Structure 1
């Protein structure tokens, strides 16, 4: 699949799934805007992406979201593909003190930021008849204990995807969502878990899958590229589960 001269924004691109997505788009000829909060990690990913635009930003801040769109258009002149990948987790138990603060942060990053970026990018995507790929989770259909905020944010993201897909379809813009199961990234570590807890968590996740495996980031990136390509020109408002059969077994 060639994305020669296509302009792609990837949020949460400093590591994990987002980094893999940015690298694969660049390998296929795309002009990539890498967005993340960690400048050092973004710089490391950029080394594998040719000459990307690096944007250190927090997608949950409206002024940063606007800057992401403005800087991309200023540098490349257009936007063809928006990949909303940035996401955070957080323990949310309804009876715990401080749960609302955590919930608000999770929703701001995982759902509200996607709405804001989609709103800002839509006029540009209409011009290019581009498309959007949102990265959700199997948590949108199978609740993770102690993480109602994360589960709710991803369920909302799935339904937002369908609603916007319907709205933008007459304008030639496709919108789809991917629901990964367990993927070995630094996501758990970023929540403050020790290496031992992280390893134990991935082992437990593996046991919960029908295929008895945990994916790597490249598998999700490959799916993103297919959905964003002309090979998927008839697909919009769809959810793609890539979970090694976790939903089946759980």
Structure 2
């Protein structure tokens, strides 16, 4: 019988938001590929379910219940990971919150909640993990959304947070080629793609750390259900997503997205 291919054998991966949805499915996929995992999320029960599933695939799992809005909890998460494994190869910034609201009815408290989880926590955790990822020549994967690429009605702050996450990704990474402003006239056919070019003053590419974002379309998870999205709203979102260049799209299950 042929042995299983384990491309991530002995690699250490930290996945946030792993108690449900895309984060849980990502952890399970990584476990099947041989990774050693740190899983974190706010739901202890959800983390236990994910950890059990990962362990059934033979993965070593460190499960850390934490609220990433708490800076001390973020510091402890990294410290526990390094104490357990001694290295870090991949950071998956997946944790996020989703709430509905427009400019007319979104309170500042909601703005702070969303931005603190979807952006500030990502900033802090990435900052703390970078020294370890430089040593391992590792990878950062930020889970963004099609909401960061175009406007959706009724989810203002969420859209802002994902657009900011996309640009954070660009600026922490480094483009392989950048069109200088003086060359725009000769490269007008490339202008629609400029938003996909990462910033030229990024930090990590010369240190052999890859930084990327993935932008799923509408993925049916508890996150959206808790925000009160109806089936009709899913259909409307899917219609908007179809006009975006190469979204991952509407996924009836999570496996294609995590792959």
TM-score of the superposed pair, with normalisation by structure 2: 0.79
| 118-127 or 84-93: bigger deviation | 84-93
Q: How many residue pairs are counted as aligned between the two chains?
A: 216
| Whole-angstrom distance in 2 between the partners of 1:198 and 1:145 | 14
- Name 1:108's counterpart in structure 2: 116
| 117-126 or 43-52: bigger deviation | 43-52
Answering whether residue 233 of structure 2 is matched by residue 201 of structure 1, we say yes
- Name 2:216's counterpart in structure 1: 180
- Name 1:18's counterpart in structure 2: 23
Distance 1:189 1:54, change over 3 A: same
| Whole-angstrom distance in 1 between the partners of 2:116 and 2:147 | 17
Return the match for 1:94 from 100, 103, 122.
103
Moved over 6 A (4+): none
Unaligned runs of 5+ in 1: 223-250
Unaligned runs of 5+ in 2: 1-5, 174-201, 244-248
Distance 1:133 1:15, change over 3 A: same
CA contact (8 A) 2:217 2:238 kept: no
In the TM superposition, 1:1-250 aligns within 5 A as 2-50=7-55, 51-96=60-105, 99-165=107-173, 166-191=202-227, 193=228, 197-210=229-242, 214-215=250-251, 216-222=253-259
CA contact (8 A) 2:146 2:241 kept: no
Q: Deviations over 1:92-151 (max 9, x none)?
A: 32232x611101110000011110001000000011000100000011111121222111
The Cα RMSD (Å) is: 1.7
Select the structure of larger CA radius of gyration. Answer: 2
TM-score of the superposed pair, with normalisation by structure 1: 0.82
Distance 1:143 1:207, change over 3 A: closer
| Whole-angstrom distance in 2 between the partners of 1:182 and 1:6 | 30
